[in-house]
Amino acid sequence: MLDVAILSLLSFFVRIRLHESLHITISSDSKDSSVFVYIDSIGNEMPGEVRDFLEDYTIPHTPSLELDLYVARTIMEHFGGTIKYQRLHESKTNRFILELEKDSE
């Protein structure tokens, strides 16, 4: 199901187009007992309500909720993972960080 969460985040970037051209990079890393997937997209900074929805689980004040973000967050929660947002100011990059525990089996 991780692929569906990643696809949902990619769909979100495509639809909101925070920059004229779309450049998305996906990478991964493993540290200790966690696996991290990084999804980077160059563009304007994400609205605060998007960050709040992903990280603080708040309900957005806007009448519409991004279904792609909701699906990604729900999948990650189901598997005990999280999605965090990070802004890389120097490169003007929006980064979603998906974190999951490694399978112990």
Average pLDDT of span 18-46: 88
Residue 55 has pLDDT above 80, yes or no: no
- Evaluate if pTM is beyond 0.95: no
CATH class of the domain defined by 2-101: alpha beta
How many other CB atoms sit within 10 Å of the CB of residue 94? 23
% of the chain at pLDDT higher than 90:
37
Listed in sequence order, the residues at least 6 apart from 86 whose beta carbon sits closer than 8 Å to its beta carbon are: 94, 95, 97
- pLDDT given at position 105: 46
Classified as helix, coil or strand, 93 is strand
Handedness of CA 66, 68, 69, 71 (dihedral sign): positive
Distance CA 67, CA 60 (A): 12
Q: Where are the domains of the chain?
A: 2-101
- pLDDT given at position 16: 75
